[in-house]
Structure 1
Amino acid sequence: MGAFLDTYFLLCVYLILFFFSCSLCFASSSLQSSCKLRRKFHLNEMHKPGDVVLGGLFEVHFTSVFPERTFTSEPQQPSCKGFDTLGFRHTMTMAFAIDEVNKNSNLLPNVTLGYSLYDNCGALVIGFSGALSLASGREEQFLLQENCLGTPPVLGIVGDSYSTFSIATSNVLGLYKLPIVSYFSTCSCLSDRQRFPSFFRTIPSDAFQVVRQNVTGRQWIASEAWTAAAVLQTPRLMPYLSGTLGIAIRRGEIPGLREFLLQIHPDQKDNFAYNMVRQFWESTFKCRFAPPPTGWVEAEGALCTGQEDLENVETEFLDLSNLRPEYNIYKAVYALAYALDDMLQCKPGRGPFSGHSCATLQRLEPWQLVHYLQMVNFTTPFGDEVSFDENGDALPIYDIMNWQWIPDGRTKLQNVGEVKKSAFKGEELTIDEDKIFWNFELNKTPQSVCSENCPPGTRMARKKGEPVCCFDCIPCSEGKISNKTDSMECTSCPEDFWSSPQRDHCVPKKTEFLSYHEPLGICLTATSLLGTFICAVVLGIFTYHRNSPMVRANNSELSFLLLMSLKLCFLCSLLFIGRPRLWTCQLRHAAFGISFVLCVSCILVKTMVVLAVFKASKPGGGASLKWFGAVQQRGTVMVLISIQAAICTVWLIFSSPSPHKNTQYHNDKIVYECVVGSTVGFAVLLGYIGLLAILSFLLAFLARNLPDNFNEAKLITFSMLIFCAVWVAFIPAYVNSPGKYADAVEVFAILASSFGLLVALFGPKCYIILMRPERNTKKAILGRGTTKS
């Protein structure tokens, strides 16, 4: 039911306004009727002629007194009471701004701006009447003072101050697309472009104020309305409100305004505001003119002489230290002036209107000014950027104020910073903390009651649905740091660095490779040196007993060469230990491949010699031995080694192994490794060794059942079986081992296969030479059927 009554009431208001607007249009059919209508309204106004006229609505009086309406006699008009000195200063600020524009040769050259300014007397009906009068003026040039004023319609209006007044005015005048630029209306509802298509404002909307979370506590955070309310700035409230931080309308400076205000005098011959100036004079000097103006001010005291001096009277009218609404009025006038200047500079055929047409000074329409006003962008002499968004709202800018005690017991609002939004720089907050007074012990900055500061190593994370001062401190993830308090984001460390345990700085990543200083590297190195030493010992034993039947019966030249190759195999494993460098990466696989080919080639030739000797022992087989003499054995080994050397050379030339920093295995470590370069080259190298080993195994396997005098074939078969088993197991282990463990697996395979060959081939012979010397005789060897090769 309440909603229905509200809707019904609004409908009645709009109907009354509609018929009232229509009555104005009909009343303007003649100058006489227009004058009659104006006399009925008794509007308090001031005018100045010009090529283009701007309107203004201001509160020159605080309130209005409405007489009782009996309709038994002619209704009396409301009277304005309580002269508002600051409201009059607002009015004069607009007059000053227009005068300044007219003197500016770079802005609106050859065009003179005029104005029609009305007093709303603190009442909606009077302010609305003034707005309709501005919109429905006549084109005849008006005369000054008592004669009827036939004013031309305005092209734009500055005002009104109250949001409720602006809502009512914009609802109606918006139908005619008449631009209205308010300097004090902050209601966010006025940003609705559907309801208010031609409304603009130079004061930020309430939506921009940072009063919306229910933050409570001992430190007050005040909205713009608090700082504008003088009642809250009294000494008796300071014990509770001292130290309050709040925002205020932007304070500006208007050079030349004081000199302009001092020129105001009630006896000026070209006085453009006869009534208002006299009312101001009477209110300021507590006097009255004889006879007094009709019903505006009930001043008591002496008669005004006009000789009073404004500079010698204490009045807030000349206190220009806190120009806030005036600064917005100043910006509003200049916004209209710049928009009009842009509109008049339009070049025919390039205009924004239908058919690319332009507006002309002779035929200006308010809706055309709305288009240019939407795009206006300029900077005031005070350094503030002025432009409007798509809703007609100005770029928000506020002064940050702090409520402070003064030693003499008075209070003041201290400007401690500013917050603003720029079209190019975004939002900016500037605070001078040294100027802030905190209402706490020792005047210390208060801590948030919601969340403590986030220390380095963490980042702030907003709590959903809670005020901005409520947040969680989330530790930075691995590899990221924050090195200052209350960081919003964590930053990533450079590639070769990692986050410290505290996540507050970056440290170089640990490097990992198969080192001589770690237990695994020490064990492998010791094993390699042990194998080399055993090979040297066996070589010494064979050298010392080189003329013994056991050494001579086992092809001493190939045995010595085989021992040398095994020694190289043990030593080449050392190239896989230590920090990888280019030369070690290139040499390790080449040395490994050639050493093992030399080893397996010797075993292969020994196996072939065994088969040849067995064949030669049969009738008619002696001719086969000529193909396996000492020269042929050396040649065969050299050919087999040359093939592996060619494989290694091609591999190193076209896709050489090289050291590489691998960060894929561990995020916090750099694994130094040798990449093989070409997996095909590595596979061919291993494959060739495997081919020779398999061939040796097959030949030895075929000779395993030969008579006892050829039993070395059994040792070769066993050694090749160990060798092949080790390297078959090596391949999957190598592929699945990360980083340094791949090198360890390869070293283990080299050592295991080398020890297998050393023990299987030379262990039994060394045992006989050292432990059973009675069996190391030609008779014993021949008795066992062993044939010298």
Structure 2
Amino acid sequence: MKPNVFKDGDLVIAGFFPLYTFLTQERTVRPFKGFFLQQFLTKNYQYVLAMLFAIEEINRNPHLLPNISLGFDIYNARHSEQRTLEIPIIWQSGMGKYNPNYNCRKESKSVAVLTGQSWALSIQVGILLELYKIPQLTYGFYDPNLRNDDQFPSIYQMAPKDTSLALGMVSLMLHFSWTWVGLVISEDKRGIQFLWDFREEMDRNGVCAAFVEMIPITEKSYFTFEWHYHLRIKESPVKVVVIYGDSDSLLVLSFCRWRVLVIGKVWITTSKWDVTTSERDFFLDSFHGTLIFSYHHGEIPGFKTFIQIVNPVKYPEDFYLAELWFISFDCLLSESDCNTLENCPPNASLELMPWWQFDKDMNEGSYNVYNAVYAVAQSLQEMLLQRVEIQSVENGDELIVEPWQLHPFLKNTQFKNPVGDHVVLDEARKLDTRFDILNFWNFPEGFGLKVKVGQFASDMPHDQQFSISEEMIEWNAGFSETPHSVCSEKCIPGFSKTSQLGKPACCFLCTACPENEISNETDIEHCVKCPDHQYANSERTRCIQKTVTFLAYGDPLGMTLVCTALCLSFLTAVILGVFVKHRDTPIVKASNRTLSYILLISLKLCCLCSLLFIGRPNTATCTLQQITFAIVFTVAVSTVLAKTITVVLAFKVTAPGRRMRQWLVSGAPNFVIPVCSLIQMTICGIWLGTSPPFVDKDAHSEPGYIIIECNKGSATAFYCVLGYLGCLAFGSFIVAFMARNLPDTFNEAKFLTFSMLVFCSVWVTFLPVYHSTKGKVMAAVEIFSILASSAGLLTCIFGPKCYIILLRPDRNTQHGLLYKSPSGGNKLS
């Protein structure tokens, strides 16, 4: 084959385009020991047409490079690790053959080179051309590795920046709630950079990678038949797969897709990788429904018409075009000239070629080629205007332009192309591109369609950057509705996400919120605790206002306790009335009327003081209920102690004139009551002076309720009061226990002993029960203990006496008070 297609002009622009692939297999593949493949990449011929179209437009334009014609010099850029620089050296030598470091051109008309579909070609060719300061304009996709002005000062990238591509793809995934995706990346610098940016955006937005397949770049991969990449992707349960790389860097995956049908996958890729090269029918194409991120650009006017009229007759020097016609329309080659075609269909046109062979819509690469030609022309225009006073350019034969002279003008070039897009070559002034989201529809007989279904613009406000029309999307076979791709299903309200050790963040467990905590959204990381005045509903989805409550008179429990307290108080009053009415009877006299009256009055007050614990607490009731309880019960217990001491003294003092007898006659035991009460009052005074009781709210004891209660203030003072009361009760019990065996007719020592046993039992039981309850039940326990202990004293001490007074009056006589002493005499009790 000839090395190039050349058309002369006053100035010439060279172009290196990947039109053929030359691939060899070095190791043995049976039944062949080695073979060679030449494949014409028909879709890439659009680059050549874009260059020809732009040059012809410029040559017809009287305002741009007037009286100067542009020519072209087109070469095939080989995809080969060993032979990448072969064509640039042939072009540089001008000899049509490989002669490094020679330039046999009589005059240099070439001013710039268009190159760079792949980053490897751009870098290698750029290093070579940098030796001669020849401008190189890359029409491939934007590559951050080429923006180093120190390393590649002669390389200019036509493509806009695509640094927002990763954010755009992640925005698409977030829109469809795809958080579990696979990644297939070309193993080159650009692919690794994209992987780095993409993983960063994924981590920031909670998207996880199920697998990452790095596809090696090697021309031998086309023939190795290494299916493991394809099989791992095919067998993965992941529904969404991102593919990043160009058609050259993903040859392995491109080859495999022709042989194995893969359904049930959503492919997300860029226009760098061509998915429209399939001859399968509609539902039998693995990549039907692919979502493609494509640079947003306008349609160059007149380009489609130009494609329709292109043919080998119009461009006889273009043997690439002749080859394309030969392959596509079954033409015959002339025996005398390989560029001459015979027996071609009269209506043969590129418009008739199926889309999987040739795309009639201008792609991004062709659009960049078109802009690159115009950028060179604009720079030449500026340079020649500066030289017009020094050198006449009317005669094109005398025009001499050195390529290195174009650099200052290329760096400052900026213009609007015919569709109004702003073209800038300076890296510092380049803007990030907008992306169109295309959906690939495959139809029978090789017809396909890329339908715009959305867009992404990083320069827009955040809520307006991404938009998509779901109803326009055609999904891959295997999906009857919008695909679903997650590692773990969303946690519904009422649950929170719990990470699993050793697994990605997207693979989590849903754990129910703890008590009194809620989550009212999906996929909440942590449940939120309800405020103290609210509580969580049973579903743990919202907080509900708590109801204020207390031990009220209207409650069944409160009403029961009130009735019990009033009944006991009434019973005590009745017994007091009985004792007053029968005050002159021997049994009342024998039980010490004064102490009995005091005890009955104090027991009545004990029953009534329990009412202070019922109803809505306030500062007054909180202060009175504990103090009143402490003092009244101290009076009652000290009275029992005084009665017990009186009984003991009455039976122990037998000799007249003894000193202890004087104490008994003088009523000294009665002073126990004021002394003991004064001590308790002192303790209560200290309590009130340091940390008195106060109204408090308990929002935690009962779910759904805020309990208004009385806080004891100082717990130490409260237990000191109970401890002192317990000591009095225990002392009374000991004294009564010592007198239990005294002779008895109306002797109440045994009754006092049993009453103190009941009293102590009630309050010993009270302590653990009191500590194990919360809220208004705690107040009920204290009320019950007050009533139970009061009832115990009342029943044990006064029950037998009332029985005799009311039911056995025959025993309530002077004779009934006499009993036989152990020595045989009579003794008065």
TM-score of Structure 1 vs Structure 2, range by shorter chain: 0.5 to 0.7
Distance in 2 (CA, whole Å) between partners of 1:707 and 1:122 is 130
Q: Which among 629, 639, 654 is matched to residue 678 of structure 2?
A: 639
Q: Which region of structure 1 is more displaced relative to structure 2, 626-635 or 463-472?
A: 463-472
SS in 2 for 1:251: strand
Distance in 2 (CA, whole Å) between partners of 1:541 and 1:93 is 128
* Structure 1 match to 2:116: 159
Q: Which among 77, 86, 94 is matched to residue 46 of structure 2?
A: 86
Q: Which region of structure 1 is more displaced relative to structure 2, 324-333 or 716-725?
A: 324-333
% same residue? 30
The Cα of 1:766 is off from its aligned counterpart by 1.0
User: 5 Å matches for 1:184-223?
Assistant: 188-191=185-188, 214-215=236-237, 221-223=266-268
* Structure 1 match to 2:441: 403
* Structure 2 match to 1:251: 294
SS in 2 for 1:188: strand
The Cα of 1:758 is off from its aligned counterpart by 0.9
Contact kept in structure 2, 1:158 and 1:180, CA below 8 Å: no
Q: Name the amino acid aligned to 1:562.
A: L
> Relative to 1, partners in 2 of residues 1:431 and 1:575: Cα closer, same or farther, differing over 3 Å?
farther
SS in 1 for 2:699: strand
Do residues 735 (structure 1) and 771 (structure 2) align?
Answer: yes
Distance in 2 (CA, whole Å) between partners of 1:191 and 1:548 is 118
* Structure 2 match to 1:677: 713
Q: Name the amino acid aligned to 1:755.
A: A
Q: Which among 596, 601, 605 is matched to residue 564 of structure 1?
A: 601
Distance in 2 (CA, whole Å) between partners of 1:682 and 1:48 is 111
SS in 1 for 2:770: helix
Distance in 1 (CA, whole Å) between partners of 2:605 and 2:782 is 15
Distance in 1 (CA, whole Å) between partners of 2:7 and 2:773 is 94
> Relative to 1, partners in 2 of residues 1:779 and 1:325: Cα closer, same or farther, differing over 3 Å?
farther
User: 5 Å matches for 1:1-16?
Assistant: none
Q: Which among 252, 270, 282 is matched to residue 238 of structure 1?
A: 282
Do residues 761 (structure 1) and 813 (structure 2) align?
Answer: no
SS in 2 for 1:589: helix
The Cα of 1:770 is off from its aligned counterpart by 0.7
The Cα of 1:42 is off from its aligned counterpart by 5.6
> Relative to 1, partners in 2 of residues 1:501 and 1:638: Cα closer, same or farther, differing over 3 Å?
closer
Q: Name the amino acid aligned to 2:656.
A: K
Q: Name the amino acid aligned to 2:282.
A: M
Do residues 720 (structure 1) and 756 (structure 2) align?
Answer: yes
1:703-749 Cα shifts (integer Å, max 9, x gaps): 54556488234432332232223323333343345656544543443
Contact kept in structure 1, 2:606 and 2:633, CA below 8 Å: yes
Do residues 380 (structure 1) and 337 (structure 2) align?
Answer: no
> Relative to 1, partners in 2 of residues 1:44 and 1:402: Cα closer, same or farther, differing over 3 Å?
same
Q: Name the amino acid aligned to 2:185.
A: S
What is the TM-score normalised by the length of structure 2? 0.55
SS in 2 for 1:619: coil
Contact kept in structure 1, 2:762 and 2:789, CA below 8 Å: yes
> Relative to 1, partners in 2 of residues 1:578 and 1:135: Cα closer, same or farther, differing over 3 Å?
farther
Distance in 2 (CA, whole Å) between partners of 1:781 and 1:454 is 85
Contact kept in structure 2, 1:479 and 1:498, CA below 8 Å: yes
* Structure 1 match to 2:630: 593
* Structure 2 match to 1:555: 592
> Relative to 1, partners in 2 of residues 1:402 and 1:683: Cα closer, same or farther, differing over 3 Å?
farther
Distance in 1 (CA, whole Å) between partners of 2:196 and 2:371 is 12
Contact kept in structure 1, 2:21 and 2:79, CA below 8 Å: yes
1:422-475 Cα shifts (integer Å, max 9, x gaps): 9x999x975432333569999865788999987665678999999999998776
Q: Name the amino acid aligned to 1:415.
A: K
Q: Which among 688, 692, 710 is matched to residue 649 of structure 1?
A: 688
CA RMSD of aligned residues (A): 6.8
What is the TM-score normalised by the length of structure 1? 0.57
> Relative to 1, partners in 2 of residues 1:758 and 1:199: Cα closer, same or farther, differing over 3 Å?
closer
Q: Name the amino acid aligned to 1:380.
A: D
Q: Which among 103, 108, 133 is matched to residue 148 of structure 1?
A: 108
Q: Which among 519, 524, 528 is matched to residue 565 of structure 2?
A: 528
Q: Which among 264, 274, 284 is matched to residue 228 of structure 1?
A: 274
> Relative to 1, partners in 2 of residues 1:705 and 1:480: Cα closer, same or farther, differing over 3 Å?
closer
The Cα of 1:680 is off from its aligned counterpart by 1.0
* Structure 1 match to 2:576: 539
SS in 2 for 1:224: strand
> Relative to 1, partners in 2 of residues 1:691 and 1:240: Cα closer, same or farther, differing over 3 Å?
same
The Cα of 1:639 is off from its aligned counterpart by 2.4
Do residues 284 (structure 1) and 310 (structure 2) align?
Answer: yes
The Cα of 1:572 is off from its aligned counterpart by 3.4
* Structure 1 match to 2:731: 695
Do residues 658 (structure 1) and 702 (structure 2) align?
Answer: no
Distance in 2 (CA, whole Å) between partners of 1:439 and 1:197 is 29
Distance in 1 (CA, whole Å) between partners of 2:772 and 2:54 is 84
1:358-390 Cα shifts (integer Å, max 9, x gaps): xxx99xxxxxxxxxx9x98974364x7xxxxxx
Q: Name the amino acid aligned to 1:224.
A: T
Contact kept in structure 2, 1:171 and 1:196, CA below 8 Å: no
> Relative to 1, partners in 2 of residues 1:230 and 1:689: Cα closer, same or farther, differing over 3 Å?
same
Q: How many residues align?
A: 617
Q: Name the amino acid aligned to 2:765.
A: A
* Structure 2 match to 1:129: 86
* Structure 2 match to 1:103: none
* Structure 2 match to 1:310: none
Q: Which has the higher helix share?
A: 1
SS in 2 for 1:401: strand
Contact kept in structure 1, 2:283 and 2:477, CA below 8 Å: no
Distance in 2 (CA, whole Å) between partners of 1:288 and 1:489 is 68
User: 5 Å matches for 1:266-277?
Assistant: none
> Relative to 1, partners in 2 of residues 1:131 and 1:748: Cα closer, same or farther, differing over 3 Å?
farther
Do residues 770 (structure 1) and 806 (structure 2) align?
Answer: yes
> Relative to 1, partners in 2 of residues 1:720 and 1:65: Cα closer, same or farther, differing over 3 Å?
closer
Distance in 1 (CA, whole Å) between partners of 2:534 and 2:275 is 57
Structure 2 residues not aligned, in runs of 5+: 25-37, 56-71, 95-101, 130-144, 166-182, 202-211, 216-229, 240-261, 323-338, 343-352, 374-406, 409-424, 820-825
Distance in 1 (CA, whole Å) between partners of 2:448 and 2:40 is 33
> Relative to 1, partners in 2 of residues 1:510 and 1:778: Cα closer, same or farther, differing over 3 Å?
same
Contact kept in structure 2, 1:170 and 1:199, CA below 8 Å: no
The Cα of 1:759 is off from its aligned counterpart by 1.2
Distance in 2 (CA, whole Å) between partners of 1:480 and 1:518 is 30
User: 5 Å matches for 1:139-538?
Assistant: 147-148=107-108, 159-161=116-118, 188-191=185-188, 214-215=236-237, 221-224=266-269, 228-232=274-278, 237-238=281-282, 244-248=288-292, 250-254=293-297, 258=300, 284=310, 287-288=313-314, 292=317, 298=339, 324-325=364-365, 379-380=431-432, 382=434, 399=437, 401=439, 403=441, 412-417=449-454, 431-437=468-474, 445=482, 487=523, 491-492=527-528, 494-495=530-531, 500-502=537-539, 505-507=542-544, 524-538=561-575
Distance in 1 (CA, whole Å) between partners of 2:265 and 2:768 is 71
Q: Name the amino acid aligned to 1:128.
A: L
The Cα of 1:286 is off from its aligned counterpart by 5.6
> Relative to 1, partners in 2 of residues 1:214 and 1:447: Cα closer, same or farther, differing over 3 Å?
same
> Relative to 1, partners in 2 of residues 1:295 and 1:247: Cα closer, same or farther, differing over 3 Å?
closer
Structure 1 residues not aligned, in runs of 5+: 1-39, 67-77, 96-115, 263-279, 302-313, 334-360, 363-372, 385-397
1:626-665 Cα shifts (integer Å, max 9, x gaps): 7537995774465245334324423543x647332225xx
> Relative to 1, partners in 2 of residues 1:254 and 1:240: Cα closer, same or farther, differing over 3 Å?
closer
Distance in 1 (CA, whole Å) between partners of 2:360 and 2:40 is 26
* Structure 2 match to 1:339: none
